[in-house]
């Protein structure tokens, strides 16, 4: 079970040490000084914040207000060494979840934390069904549950977002889900592919388009549906480093209100990044310090969801092509669970689409799949790594077993035809499949 996240905003080392000792090891704890509290809350996405109101040269209540503006659902315990009743009354009026006096009583402190973390928040379910390309989000794995929780955490925050994930992950679907469930859902969801502005001489068109989309409009609710609410930028990797960095610099200055002109600060900008080195470079430059980062899980990180995803894709394409496919054979599922899926969800979806089109029976079999030599090699290697047996003899046996099984499936278990395709004498081939223990599955 995932540990709950607790952020401690504390400038006093002794007080911090005391809090950490009481919390123990049951939580994922991060501590920061007051000046970093808001920015850290935006990136760490804690379940609970412990805020010391006795902060030197700072107003603890003002810091609390900033945290609340960040997310109205954030739970906060405020602690104080003051015996004055007035601060406690102010805290109650502002909606602080609990106000505790120092020195902290471990039992009382832990009970407060347990109560707040156990409270079920009544949230509307995320609207997903009206978003195209969101089939990959089905599942019950820890990875997907964490992603949904993180999406919910940013809905009430007016922050720009980085979506970081490998190729083959539909990042546009996540951006649209954030939009339709967010604060500006009445406005338009706009997508810009930066690859369109890669050619020489097109930068000016991009800047013109960006400024037009982010421009502040005058008017009431009647114009909401006509203006941009969420801007999704993809293809940042296609641009030069200078061009990409200038975009992030512009967006950072926009949030910090250092740019001239009227720009709508409420418009959320979401940028997808696939290149790890690009992300690291941007993080080191500080240009994305004001962005909230959401990491999107790769398919290999949630293989327990593969059966659910397969069924979802089968239904999608069966309906689309008027087919009656009920499922997939067990041997394919075993291969899919082992396979590394470098192309992620797009690769799986593409395979199922072709299989549905090729299928003439109600069950998809290996012969319906366009699996090639590389697929067999990759699968054999993944099986070897999973068992730890990397001896050449074992690798060869696993490869032969997988490869011969695929060929036999594609020839309807006609050994004569399979041996002819492989240019192996029939008797040699038959003897070998017996040695490998390859049998036709019913």
Residues 415-419 have a mean pLDDT of 81
Residues 41-45 have a mean pLDDT of 69
Which part of the chain is CATH 3.40.50.300?
Answer: 135-297
Through-space distance between the first and last CA atoms of the chain, rounded to whole angstroms: 39
pLDDT at residue 124 above 50? no
Q: What is the pLDDT of residues 315-372, one digit of tens each?
A: 999 999 999 888 887 667 777 877 778 889 998 998 899 889 988 888 887 778 776 6
Place of tokens 């900008």: 269
The span from the CA of 433 to the CA of 404, in Å, is 8
Average pLDDT for the chain: 83
Class of CATH domain 5-118: alpha beta
DSSP symbols for 116-152: HHHPPP--PPP--TTSTT-GGG---SHHHHHHHHHHH
pLDDT at residue 395 above 70? no
User: Looking at per-residue confidence, does 441 or 105 come out higher?
Assistant: 105
Confidence category of residue 123, pLDDT binned at 50, 70, 90 = very low
3-class secondary-structure state, position 413: coil
pLDDT at residue 412 above 50? yes
The span from the CA of 203 to the CA of 87, in Å, is 54
Place of tokens 């679907």: 173
pLDDT at 270: 97
pTM of the predicted model as reported, rounded to 2 decimal places: 0.60
pLDDT at residue 389 above 90? no
CATH topology of domain 135-297: Rossmann fold (3.40.50)
Range with top average pLDDT, 59-68, 263-272, 378-387: 263-272
Which part of the chain is CATH 1.10.8.60?
Answer: 300-436
- Residues whose CB is less than 8 angstroms from the CB of residue 363 and which lie 6 or more positions away in sequence, other chains included: 325, 326, 327, 328, 329
pLDDT at 97: 92
Query: 79, 52 in Cβ contact below 8 A?
Result: yes
Q: What is the pLDDT of residues 16-36, one digit of tens each?
A: 999 999 998 889 999 988 877
Class of CATH domain 300-436: mainly alpha
pLDDT at 231: 96
pLDDT at residue 431 above 90? no
3-class secondary-structure state, position 98: strand
The span from the CA of 33 to the CA of 95, in Å, is 22
Which part of the chain is CATH 3.40.50.2300?
Answer: 5-118
pLDDT at 381: 58
Radius of gyration of the chain (CA): 28
Q: What is the dihedral of CA 61, 63, 68, 69, to 10 degrees?
A: 120
pLDDT at 382: 64
């Amino acid at each position: 079970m995932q540990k709950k996240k607790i952020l401690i905003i504390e400038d006093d080392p002794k007080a911090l040490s005391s809090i950490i000792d009481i919390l123990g090891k049951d939580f994922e704890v991060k501590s920061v000084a007051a000046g970093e509290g808001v920015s850290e809350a935006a990136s760490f996405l804690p379940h609970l914040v412990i805020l010391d109101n006795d902060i030197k040269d700072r107003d603890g209540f003002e810091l609390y207000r900033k945290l609340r503006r960040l997310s109205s659902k954030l739970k906060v315990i405020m602690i104080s060494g003051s015996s004055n009743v007035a601060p406690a009354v102010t805290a109650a009026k502002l909606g602080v979840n609990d106000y505790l006096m120092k020195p902290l009583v471990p039992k009382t402190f832990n009970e407060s934390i347990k109560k707040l973390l156990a409270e079920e928040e009544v949230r509307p379910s995320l609207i997903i069904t009206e978003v195209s390309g969101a089939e990959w989000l089905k599942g019950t794995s820890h990875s997907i549950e964490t992603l949904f929780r993180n999406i919910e955490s940013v809905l009430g925050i007016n922050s720009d977002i980085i979506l970081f994930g490998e190729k083959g992950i539909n990042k546009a679907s996540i951006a649209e889900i954030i939009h339709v469930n967010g604060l500006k859902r009445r406005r338009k969801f706009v997508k810009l592919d930066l690859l369109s502005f890669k050619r020489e001489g097109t930068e000016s068109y991009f800047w013109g388009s960006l400024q037009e989309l982010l421009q502040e409009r005058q008017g009431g609710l009647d114009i909401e549906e006509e203006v941009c609410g969420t801007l999704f930028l993809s293809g940042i990797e296609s641009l030069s480093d200078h061009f990409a960095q200038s975009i992030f610099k512009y967006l950072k200055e926009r949030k910090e209100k250092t740019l001239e002109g009227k720009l709508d600060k409420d418009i959320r900008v979401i940028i997808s990044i696939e290149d790890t080195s690009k992300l690291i470079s941007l993080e080191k430059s500080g240009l994305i310090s004001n962005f909230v980062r959401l990491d999107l899980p790769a398919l290999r990180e949630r293989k327990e969801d593969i059966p659910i995803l397969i069924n979802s894709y089968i239904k999608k394409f069966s309906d689309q092509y008027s087919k009656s496919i009920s499922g997939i054979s067990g041997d394919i599922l075993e291969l899919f669970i082992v396979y590394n899926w470098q192309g992620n969800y797009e690769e799986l979806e593409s395979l199922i689409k072709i299989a549905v089109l090729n299928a003439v029976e109600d069950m998809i079999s290996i012969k319906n799949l366009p699996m090639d030599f590389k697929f067999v090699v990759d699968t054999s290697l993944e099986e070897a790594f999973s068992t730890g047996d990397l001896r050449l003899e074992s690798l060869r046996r696993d490869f032969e077993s997988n490869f011969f099984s695929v060929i036999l499936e594609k020839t309807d278990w006609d050994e004569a035809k399979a041996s002819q395709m492989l240019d192996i004498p029939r008797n040699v081939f038959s003897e070998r499949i017996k040695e490998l223990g390859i049998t036709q599955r019913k």
